[in-house]
Amino acid sequence: MTLKGAVFCVIFFTSVTGNFLSCPKLCICPPGFTDCKYNNFSNLPLGLDKNVTILDLSYNAFQVFPDDLNNYPSLEYLNLSYNKIHRLQNDNFRRLTKLERLDLSHNSINWANIGPYTFSSTLNLLFLDLSYNPLGSQHVGENPLQIQSLEILRLNNCSIDHLDNKLLDKLPKLKELHLSENPITSLFWSLASTSLKFLDLSRCNLKHVSPRVFVNLTSLQTLYMQQNINLKSFYCNSPSLRYLDISNCNLESVPRGYLPNINAANLHGNHFRIIPNKSFANYTNLVMLDLSYNALHVIDENAFVGLDKIERLDLSQNTLSDLSPNVFFSNTNLQFLNLSRNYLNTVPNLNSDFLEILDLSFCEIASVDQDCLVNMPRLKILNLSKNIISVLPDNFRGDALRVLDVSLCRIKTVNNKTFALMSSLRSVNLAGNRLTYASPSSFAQVVSLNISDNPWRCDCSKLKDLYDWLSKTGKKLDNLYCESPEAFEGRSWLSACQKDWQPDITRSDSVWWYTTGLIITVFVILFVILAMRRMYLLKEKRLREANEARRNEEREALRRMHRMQAEAREEASRNAPDPRELQTPPSYNEALLLPRLDSSHPSLSASLHSIASKHSINGSLTDVAKRRRKRRRRKSDSSEGQRASRVVVVDSDTSEHEPEPRTTLESDF
């Protein structure tokens, strides 16, 4: 299977040709097979090997048959199902002479769009599937399916509402014809074929079938007609028919007709109410007959006369309440009889010399007669399970009986006489009953005994022998539980009675269990302590790792912060303006408050570089400073005289006492 839209290109080696074969894109090519489905192809993909033999193009979008397929004459299997092909033309298969299997199901083809010589070149075609195409009714005329080699033809659910007697023309080797789920209501035409062995007409809404429909099908062996719910009667003549399945229809009477070679008939799920005398007189070779799930309440004494070879007969799921003792007397080969799920109140005393297996489960049987099995001398297996039997008779007879199943009944007691006359009895199933006690002597000859799911009263002294006997047979005893007395309710036999049955083993077992429990407890405690210590150490380790990781993160964050601050300071220092550029000359009042300088400051005179250069030219720094002081004094003297004259002029207009502070200021300078 491929996924839709997946792209594969696989090249594989074939052991037949010894060459590498190419594979188209979107396809998978395992050895001997090319799978191109689910790819929405509407044209043949490129890259197909010319020698491809198996090609699957299903689930695509082909609307016409790809004519390019004729370029691959080695094709033996071609699958074009689940496409949209609506027409088949005469030359579609002109070069596909080796084609053996062709699947065209689930397309849109009808009879009118199939050319009359479409399959004339397919000389080796054995299998053709046109199911789920809207073929419709076949037109009278030439059959478009003229395939001389065809053996299997599938036309399921093709909207065919009637069968033309020419359907099988030009199909001389056809062995299987599948026509299920078509709306065919009646069969009037006699179908003719000397090769057809299998015919499927199930779920076709058939209402009427002519007795001569199958007469000319001289090789017909299997006929399926199940689930034709409108079919109430069936008459069939077929000398070659071996198996007939006409189950789950609405038949009200046994199919009639001449069926001398039929071996098995499935009439399950119909509406038979009565089986009259000699209803199967024409079924002389019938071996298996299924009449289950009907509404049978009466079977005549001679109903099965003529069924001399019948071996298996199923009459289950009916409403039978009484059977004649001689109803199966003439069936000398009857070995298996199923009467389960009927309304028989007692085991019928049947006369059957060859019956070996009898199923009477779910029959509401309340009583069993002591001699009810006497006339069935070869009966080996009897199933009486799921009935309402409360007591099995003493000296219950069954000379050849080997297996007896009376499980899920209401049996309360079994004594030494119950199975005393059953010398061949080897297996007894008493599970799910109401036994409270049983003696091993009641099952002297039994090898396999099932007594589980019973309300046992655990009187240990009485159960000891039965327990020992069951132990020797190898039967598992774990499913045997006590229901009483109250102290033992719900406990197994061994658990309730071990102290009485095996006291020494109980004591030694107690010591052993005590010692074992103590050792296990010590080991558990040590394990818990070690586990807790390991968990504590792991927790501490995780805490240390977490703290260390947190500290590392904090240190790293602090480093990043310092680095960012340093980068900020450096950036600020690079972008800061020269302080000398920002400094403005002091105002007059600020200048008056400045201290007197004894020497020139480097910022006022010049940089150290300038001073050094001047020193090298004019002499020492001391001489330079002396000359500067002299110049400043001369300048200050001249400026003071000018200021004094201005002050005197101003003060003459204001007050004559003002020159005193000016004199003081001048003295400061």
Given this model, what pLDDT does residue 486 score? Answer: 87
Query: With 90 as the cut, is the pLDDT of residue 136 above it?
Result: no
**pLDDT of 586:** 76
Q: Which residues contact 255 (CB under 8 A, 6 or more apart)?
A: 233, 234, 235, 236, 244, 246, 265, 267
* pLDDT reported for residue 496: 85
What is the rounded distance in angstroms from the CA atom of residue 254 to the CA atom of residue 234? Answer: 8
Kind of pairing between the strands at 20-21 and 12-13: antiparallel
Question: Please, are residues 23 and 46 in contact by the beta-carbon 8 Å criterion?
Answer: no
The average pLDDT across 488-500 equals: 85
Q: Report whether pLDDT(80) > 70.
A: yes
Give me the mean pLDDT over the 96-119 stretch: 93
Average the pLDDT over each of 19-33, 414-428, 443-457, 534-548 and give the range with the smallest value.
19-33
The burial class, CB within 10 Å (0-12 / 13-18 / 19+), for 567 is exposed
Per-residue pLDDT band at 118 (split at 50, 70, 90): very high
- Who has greater pLDDT, 327 or 11? 327
Model pLDDT, residue 497: 86
Average pLDDT of the chain is 84
pLDDT band at 499 (very low <50, low <70, confident <90, very high): confident
Categorize the per-residue pLDDT at 607 as very low, low, confident or very high, splitting at 50, 70 and 90.
very low
| Cα–Cα distance measured from residue 276 to residue 644, given in angstroms and rounded to the nearest whole number | 166
> Is-contact 126 150, C-beta < 8 A?
yes
Q: What would the pLDDT profile of 545-557 be if each residue is shown by its tens digit?
A: 999 999 998 999 9
| Top-confidence residue, 468 or 77 | 77
The pTM is what? 0.70
Q: Does the pLDDT value for residue 17 go beyond 60?
A: no
Whole-number percent of the chain with pLDDT over 90: 57
Yes or no: say if 336 and 357 are a contact pair by the CB < 8 Å rule: yes
Question: In degrees rounded to 5, what are phi and psi of residue 198?
Answer: -130, 130
The pLDDT value given to residue 602: 53
C-beta neighbour count of 533 within 10 angstroms: 10
pLDDT category of residue 22 using cuts at 50, 70 and 90: confident
pLDDT at 647: 41
Average pLDDT over residues 1-26: 44
Residue-wise pLDDT tens digits, 179-203: 999 999 999 888 899 999 999 999 9
Whether the pLDDT of residue 405 is over 80: the answer is yes
**Per-residue confidence (pLDDT) for residue 16, from 0 to 100:** 33
Position 510 confidence tier, pLDDT thresholds 50, 70, 90:
low
pLDDT, residue 663, reads 39
Residues 201-251 pLDDT 10s: 999 999 999 988 999 999 999 999 999 999 999 999 999 999 999 999 999
Would you place residue 3 in the very low, low, confident or very high pLDDT band (cuts 50, 70, 90)?
very low
Rounded to whole angstroms, the Cα distance separating 163 from 188 reads 8
pLDDT score for 96:
94
Predicted local confidence at residue 650, as pLDDT: 38
Give me the pLDDT at residue 261, please: 93
Over 80: is that where the pLDDT of 363 sits? Answer: yes
Q: Which of 36-40, 379-383, 473-477 has the lowest average pLDDT? A: 473-477
Report the pLDDT value the prediction gives residue 580, as an integer from 0 to 100: 64
Tell me: pLDDT of 516 over 50: yes
pLDDT of 609 reads 47
Looking at 190-199, 442-451, 462-471, 645-654, which range is the least confident one?
645-654
157-to-127, 135, 181 alpha-carbon distances in Å: 17, 9, 5
666 or 517, which is more confident?
A: 517
Mean predicted confidence (pLDDT) in 54-65: 95
> What local confidence, expressed as pLDDT, does residue 597 receive?
63
Asked if pLDDT for residue 82 goes beyond 90, the answer is: yes
How far from 344 is each of 193, 349, 388, 411, 463, CA to CA, in Å? 48, 11, 11, 18, 36
pLDDT value of position 2: 39
pLDDT at residue 6 above 60? no
pLDDT over 60 (residue 12): no
Please say if the pLDDT value at position 7 is more than 80: no
